[in-house]
Structure formats: structure tokens, C-alpha cells
Amino acid sequence: MKKNSIDTKCVQSGYNPESGDPRVLPLYQSTTYKYDTAQELADLFDLKIPGHIYSRISNPTVACFEAKIADLEGGVSAVAFSSGVAAEATCIMNVCNTGDNILSAKEIYGGTYNLFDITLRKYGINTRFFDQYASDEEIEKLIDENTKMIFLETVANPGMSVLDFEKFSRIAKKHKILFVVDNTLATPVLVRPLEHGVNIVIHSSTKYLDGHASCVGGLVVDGGNFDFNNNPRYKEFYTPDKSYHGMNYVKDCGNLAFGIKLRVQLVRDFGNPMSPFSAYLTNMGTETLHLRMERHSKNALAVAEKLSESKLVNWVKYPGLKSSNTHELAKKYFENGMYSGMLAVSFKLTKEQVFKFMENLKIFKIVTHIADVRSCVLHPATTTHRQLSKESQKTAGIDDTVVRFSVGIEDTQDIVNDVIQALNSI
């Protein structure tokens, strides 16, 4: 039942045409909106009535896509951004000022790590990194009165370890801090973090949501399940906002406070919304998300199992394998025995032989992308993780022997055969 309902949501949520309306979500390629009376527009600015003012802040096509993703994740609202990192940066700005800090797992997407470790520090927002397997006490030692969020990924790439939601939900609740999770690689079809104590979900929609590698985009989904009122960490949520004629977000917006503040204050001022065209295409991609995740998962498991048997392989990291260090967590949080399409493999080969293997592949192409319909591979040590020191690469589980696979939705046997022929012809 659960699965049927998420499948139906992928196809239908977000857009409900009235009699005579287009059946398919239309692309509203307009920056602006016309009103009959001056009073209506005044009421819109006061947020007394719903509607669109200017497409930097909202747009009907983008709004329908946002509603679909909010529904898929089980949240109360979503705001769509021009990219995944724009979603992350703006989400942090929604709670952090200069002098504040966030806690983040060490093992996260490289672009996010850069944002946290270098760029945000320049603006006085500091990230305290932790090892996600450390004890509660060790992690809690990093928390002080300026700590505004705890950030992790549902499944971290390329280590492919699955987040212990229960542990971090416990820590976040104890200290009344927002628990924020990047759910890009799992998608709401496989894992819904808001059901496991998370407050805010982030997506790079560039990956599986779009699924066709055509649009860069991101989202912040608000669970509406965090009490900001009178929590001294989040004063701006329950005191008047000078930049929005004295709005008190908690009082005026109730459990929509986080998303409304994010939109009317920060997307307004930073100007980084998703474009209507990207929302149109990404919405169309999401209509088949449930079908694609099933095939991505089936194909990735087949490749993972086949490579595990090879004498040329040191290890395979895939949450669906019994040998995975987080297989028990994967079974607990992932639905219907599907574990997504990403895996990392270490070969008993030299760097030159690993390159040769990658070049021998015919279906898998060498691409800096993941999570679209086409299978691809990448060598993290010389590309995405190039900036890291050998030491940091080692912590991230990467060296010259490691290849990251993003397994597509082609025929399962064709994909497995491709990997085997490429290994055999080194």
C-alpha cells in the first residue's frame, strides 16, 4: 500500500487541473503576473492572500513542482533552487548569521564539503565536522549555544554508508537543534527522512529527480515539525523581520515558518530560484522516478554481486550487499529491498590498469555526473576528490584503485556483461 501511494504521488502530485485545464503541467514562462485591483496586489505583499508576484520569488510551474516534492517527502512545503548547492547554502543562511556554526558529517558530497569548509568560513559561519560513527558524547561536545543545525546525507557517496537516523535524531532533539539531511541519492521513493526524525530535507534535483541529466536544480523541503518558538537559537523566527515589514514568521505562518522565511527573505534577496523551464523538465522526470529507482536498484545490485565474486576486486561498497558495514541500517530505512544505483569498487589493479578498465567499458561512459538513466563511471582520486590530500582521500575511502559506478536503467545483463568484458580485456 505504502509503495502504491508513493508511485501515484510521483505521477500525479503537485498539479490538479480543473475542468478544461491542460492535463499536463504547463510551462509558465512569465516573470510577472497581472491583477485587477491594486488592493489584491497589496494583500499579496502582506501575504494575506496566496498568489504570485514576481518569478524571482515564485512561479506557478515551479510551485507545482515544489508541491510534488513536498508531498513525496511528506513535508509541509518546498522551495526550489537553481542548484543543489544553492539549496544548501540558502538553507544554512536561513538559520545562521556570522559567528554561528553547524555540525556536519565528514563523509559528504565534495561540493558540499567545499562550501562548508572554505566558503562559509569566509562569512564567519563555521562547520564542525564529525565522524558519524563517533559516540553521542563525542558529537555532543561540538555543540554550543551558536550551533544551528546538524547536517548529514542519507547515503554518503562514495563511501555508500547509510545514516543512522535514530542516533542523530536523538542528539538533535536533546539539544533542540534542526536536523537537516541531504536525501539526493536515496530519493523519497526509497527513504523518507521526515519519517525518521529529520526536520529539513535537501535535494540536488540534478540527480535522480530529473533523472535525465538535463537540468541543474535543488530543493529544501520543510517537515513543519520543528518548534522554533522561543528557542533562543532561532530568535529571527519569532521576532519581527525588519526586511519584511515586521513579519513574525512563527506567529504569522505557524508551521510554514521555515519555508516562508526562506522564500520571502532569502530567495528574494539572493535571487537563486529554480527556473520555470527547469521545474517543467524536472517535474516530468519525477513522474517516472519510482520506475527508474526500481531498475537502478536492481541493476546496481547485480553489478555489485558480480564484482564481489571477482578475484580482481578488493572490496565493493553498496548498501544492498550483506558485506556492507551499514547493511542493517539500509534494511531498516530503505523500502522494498531497493538500495539505489550507486556503488564504489576497489580493484586489485594499478592506476593505469584501472584507467584501462574504465576505457574498456562500452555501456558505462566516463562522466562527471551521477544518477541519471545512463550508466557511467568516474575515478574519484583524480577528479571529484582531487583537491583532497592523500590523508583526507584515505579517510573518505578513496585511493587510485577505486572506481565509482552510477548504474543506469539499461538491460541488467548487458550492464553486467559490459563490466566483465572490460575487466577481462585489461
Map residue 171 onto helix, strand or coil.
Answer: helix
Say how many residues touch ligand PLP, by CB under 6 A.
15
How far is the C-alpha of 273 from the C-alpha of 267, rounded, in Å?
6
305 neighbors 324 (Cβ within 8 angstroms): no
Minimum separation from the CB atom of position 87 to ligand PLP (A): 8
For the segment 337-376, give every residue that binds ligand PLP (CB under 6 A).
none
85 binds ligand PLP (CB under 6 A): yes
Minimum separation from the CB atom of position 366 to ligand PLP (A): 17
Minimum separation from the CB atom of position 19 to ligand PLP (A): 37
Minimum separation from the CB atom of position 387 to ligand PLP (A): 16
Minimum separation from the CB atom of position 338 to ligand PLP (A): 18
Which helix (DSSP H) or strand (DSSP E) does residue 225 occupy?
none
Read off the C-alpha cell for 342: 550507486
Single-letter amino acid code for the residue at 282: T
Residue 148 or 207: the one with the smaller Cβ distance to ligand PLP is: 207
Name 397's Cβ contacts closer than 8 Å, sequence gap at least 6. 158, 159, 317, 344
Q: Return the exposure string of 349-384: e unless at least 16 CB atoms fall within 10 Å of the residue's CB, then b.
A: beeebbbebbebbebbeeeeebbbbbbbbbbbbeeb
How far is the C-alpha of 88 from the C-alpha of 321, rounded, in Å?
30
For the segment 190-229, give every residue that binds ligand PLP (CB under 6 A).
204, 206-207, 216, 218
How far is the C-alpha of 416 from the C-alpha of 413, rounded, in Å?
5
Residue 164 or 182: the one with the smaller Cβ distance to ligand PLP is: 182
Residue 68 or 207: the one with the smaller Cβ distance to ligand PLP is: 207
Largest CA distance in the chain: 74
- Which range binds ligand PLP by CB under 6 A, 21-29, 41-49, 177-185, 192-200? 177-185
Residue 370 or 381: the one with the smaller Cβ distance to ligand PLP is: 370
Residue 15 or 81: the one with the smaller Cβ distance to ligand PLP is: 81
Task: Give me the phi and psi of 22, to 5 degrees please.
Answer: -60, 140
404 binds ligand PLP (CB under 6 A): no
> Helix 412-424 and helix 351-360: axis angle, to 10°?
140
Residue 84 or 319: the one with the smaller Cβ distance to ligand PLP is: 84
User: Per this entry, what is the length of the chain?
Assistant: 426
Residue 220 or 247: the one with the smaller Cβ distance to ligand PLP is: 220
84 binds ligand PLP (CB under 6 A): yes
Task: Give me the phi and psi of 356, to 5 degrees please.
Answer: -60, -45
Q: Which residues on adjacent β-strands are paired with residue 120?
A: none
Considering only 73, 182, 400, 418, the residue that binds ligand PLP (CB under 6 A) is 182
Which helix (DSSP H) or strand (DSSP E) does residue 201 occupy?
strand 200-204
Task: Give me the phi and psi of 138, to 5 degrees please.
Answer: -60, -40
Minimum separation from the CB atom of position 213 to ligand PLP (A): 11
Minimum separation from the CB atom of position 203 to ligand PLP (A): 8
Residue 202 or 257: the one with the smaller Cβ distance to ligand PLP is: 202
Q: Name the residue number minimizing CB distance to ligand PLP.
A: 84
Residue 143 or 213: the one with the smaller Cβ distance to ligand PLP is: 213
Single-letter amino acid code for the residue at 236: E
- Which range binds ligand PLP by CB under 6 A, 59-67, 179-187, 229-237, 246-254? 179-187
Residue 83 or 169: the one with the smaller Cβ distance to ligand PLP is: 83
How far is the C-alpha of 196 from the C-alpha of 255, rounded, in Å?
18
- Which range binds ligand PLP by CB under 6 A, 45-53, 77-85, 322-330, 407-415? 77-85
Residue 85 or 162: the one with the smaller Cβ distance to ligand PLP is: 85
How far is the C-alpha of 205 from the C-alpha of 97, rounded, in Å?
27
For the segment 90-149, give every residue that binds ligand PLP (CB under 6 A).
109, 111-112
CA distances from 337 to 11, 190, 294, 305, 373 (A): 22, 9, 9, 15, 20
Considering only 185, 209, 316, 403, the residue that binds ligand PLP (CB under 6 A) is 185
- Which range binds ligand PLP by CB under 6 A, 68-76, 81-89, 186-194, 282-290? 81-89
Number of Cβ atoms within 10 Å of the Cβ of 284: 16
153 binds ligand PLP (CB under 6 A): yes
Q: Which residues bind to ligand PLP, rule: CB under 6 A?
A: 83-85, 109, 111-112, 153, 182, 184-185, 204, 206-207, 216, 218
